[in-house]
Amino acid sequence: MGVFATSRESRRRHRTQTIAFYVLMAVTVLLVLPVIAILGLLFIRGAPALSLEFLFSEPLRGMTAGGIWPAIVGTMWLVGVSLLVSAPIGVLAAVYLNEYAGDTWVTRIIHLAIVNLAGVPSIVHALFGVGAFVLFFQLGTSILSASLTLAIMTLPVIIASTKEALSAVPMSFREACWNVGASRWQTIRHVVLPNSIAGILTGVILQVSRAAGETAPIIFTGAAVFIPFLPQTVHDQTMALSMHLFTLSTQVQGVPQQITYGTALVLVLMVVLINGASIIIRSRIRRRRKW
């Protein structure tokens, strides 16, 4: 054998690495295939329903015909208002926990509460929304009540992702600012937050996806089965794509299959478009980062 001949140990390691590669690739494929199958099924059965009339008209004949425009507008209302509430609160809470709060029993309890809140079923959030916003604060069944419920449900995701993004900023950045006389808040505002904005957007993207697709938290707090007019203020009730899809699938008889699948396809496409726009913005911000 030559000096550079492959040893038995090297062959064993190479074989193990090859096996691990193919096993991990197979697991990845198994995860992707159901997504492709679902999207393919939605597109094949729902694409024939897509038209300007379907997108920009209201449901007709007991929701067995017509379009989904009120549900699209209502979904945008719910997602937008919940985002306006949850994003600032979540980011500020994460800034406090990561930049100001020390490792005390109080902060440990707060972290535990955030983790537990993330694991609470959505129907429990719905019951909380009814008790807190609809009844106690007397906001009634409205966009505001439903959006506040969605905001509380998505807060843990924003807090966790923002905290991770803040932690990823090197401590040397902070120390350099402090050494030239900058205060803690000046350092956070001008150095830490700009360098962590990409990670913060990740939490916001996840918030948008979950808020748009949830049904249980809005059934009792602000969503309606059918409303023939568009909402004007946050105190109105509204239709929503997720609620409309649930109603078509379980409550209405004689709905053409393409309408049901078309509604599901529009909901998925709306989430994909919003996420895609956010990802593009995040990528551009990351390219500007110097570290």
> Per-residue pLDDT averaged across 169-195, rounded?
88
What global pTM score does this model have?
0.85
pLDDT value at residue 3: 55
Domain boundaries, the chain: 8-49, 52-288
pLDDT value at residue 218: 92
> Per-residue pLDDT averaged across 201-221, rounded?
84
d(CA 134, CA 153): 16
pLDDT value at residue 4: 56
d(CA 67, CA 169): 47
Residue 82 pLDDT > 80: yes
Which of 2-11, 26-35, 121-130 is predicted with the least confidence, judged by mean pLDDT?
Answer: 2-11
Residue 291 pLDDT > 80: no
Confidence of residue 278 (pLDDT cuts 50, 70, 90): confident
Percent of the chain residues past pLDDT 90, beyond the cut: 37
Q: Which two tokens stand for residue 75?
A: 């979904």
Burial of 9: CB neighbours in 10 Å, binned 0-12, 13-18, 19+? exposed
pLDDT value at residue 289: 62
Confidence of residue 19 (pLDDT cuts 50, 70, 90): very high
Q: What is the pLDDT of residues 111-166, one digit of tens each?
A: 888 888 888 888 899 999 999 999 999 999 999 999 999 999 999 989 988 998 89
Mean pLDDT value across the chain: 87
Q: What is the pLDDT of residues 229-260, one digit of tens each?
A: 888 999 999 999 999 998 988 888 888 888 99
To the nearest 10°, the Cα dihedral for 45, 47, 48, 54?
120
Would you tell me how many other CB atoms lie within 10 Å of the CB of residue 145?
Answer: 27
pLDDT value at residue 235: 93
Residue 288 pLDDT > 90: no
Residue 42 pLDDT > 80: yes
pLDDT value at residue 106: 86
Alpha helices (H) along 57-192: 69-95, 105-118, 122-129, 143-168, 171-179, 184-187
pLDDT value at residue 241: 92
221-255 exposure pattern, b = at least 16 Cβ within 10 A, e = fewer: bbbbeebeeebeebebbbbbbbbbbbbbeeebeeb
Residue 6 pLDDT > 80: no
How distant, in Å, are the alpha carbons of 80, 157, 203, 260, 273 from that of 86?
10, 10, 11, 31, 21
Q: Which fold has domain 52-288?
A: MetI-like fold (1.10.3720)
